[in-house]
Amino acid sequence: MGTRLEGKVALVTGGARGMGEAEARRFCAEGAKVVIADVLDDIGQTVAADLGADAAYVHLDVSSEDDWATAVAATVERFGAPTVLVNNAGIARYETIDRMPKEEVVAHLSVNVVGPWLGIKSVFEPMRRAGGGSIINIGSTNSVRGAAGATAYATSKHAVAGLTKSAAVELGPFGIRVNMVLPGGVATPMIADAAPWFGPAPLDNSPTEWSLPLKRWGMPEDIAAMVLFLASDESAYSTGAEFVVDGGMTADHPFKPAAAWVEHREALLAESRD
């Protein structure tokens, strides 16, 4: 058991699985009280129960302002005012512009942008009254680059970068830091769920097949380590900043093209030549 987060109360969205679960587990191991918030109720409750008395679960649709009010109130009642917020919940669905319905774009903006914005708004008052805290927004390497099929996702993650910097300016005078982590090449259920776009069993693809300098998939625990640093007082002079954890992905060519994009692109090019 560590003490890097001793005395802190953390609210982690999307905490039922993947990076959110890894963050919640690492936070508890470092002495924090943790509220896991998600829409995956059964999984989230199981994780919270496994973590014991220092963890609790609350249902939270991050696009719902009412759900946010309930989640923050439950956090205050159970453990006290949140001093750490991790805006980890997000969605990623891939499709080309010509095939993606507007509703999918709106859904990405609602969950990936409005969700963190509502989270920051909801914790501001209790966090301010507690004397400050740390807010960590989970972005993506798609916060700084584009990718075929990712117009909705990349647009939303670029927006999170603007949200992070603007919130850091507003909240800094109140002792609240706002930073952003940019994961890339991480083996999570979200990537596994994207098989229709990237091809069957995308996590079975070896990172040695594309230009990832560290030549391995990142693990949720790799991201949790950076989030822990930003949640702790060790990062006390960092705000409005982006912390990339991608195995060097953005230092080189990002990754090999998605199977669905290549198929669609070649079909349209062939049609153009006819």
CA-CA distance, 267 to 198, in Å (whole number)? 17
DSSP string spanning 131-189? Answer: T-EEEEEE--GGGTS--TT-HHHHHHHHHHHHHHHHHHHHHGGGTEEEEEEEE-SB--H
Tokens of 252: 């080189």
Active site residues: 153
Encoded tokens for 61: 């649709």
Q: How confident is the prediction along the chain (274 residues), in pLDDT tens digits per residue? A: 799 999 999 999 999 999 999 999 999 999 999 999 999 999 999 999 999 999 999 999 999 999 999 999 999 999 999 999 999 999 999 899 999 999 999 999 999 999 999 999 999 999 999 999 999 999 999 999 888 889 999 999 999 999 999 999 999 999 999 999 999 888 887 777 766 766 666 666 666 556 678 888 899 999 999 999 999 999 999 999 999 999 888 887 556 677 888 888 888 888 887 6
- Burial-class residue 43 by CB neighbours within 10 Å (0-12, 13-18, 19+): middle
Specify the pTM: 0.91
**Structural domains in the chain?**
9-273 (3.40.50.720)
| Distance from C-alpha of 230 to C-alpha of 223, rounded to nearest angstrom | 11
In the numeric block, which tokens belong to residue 91? 């969605």
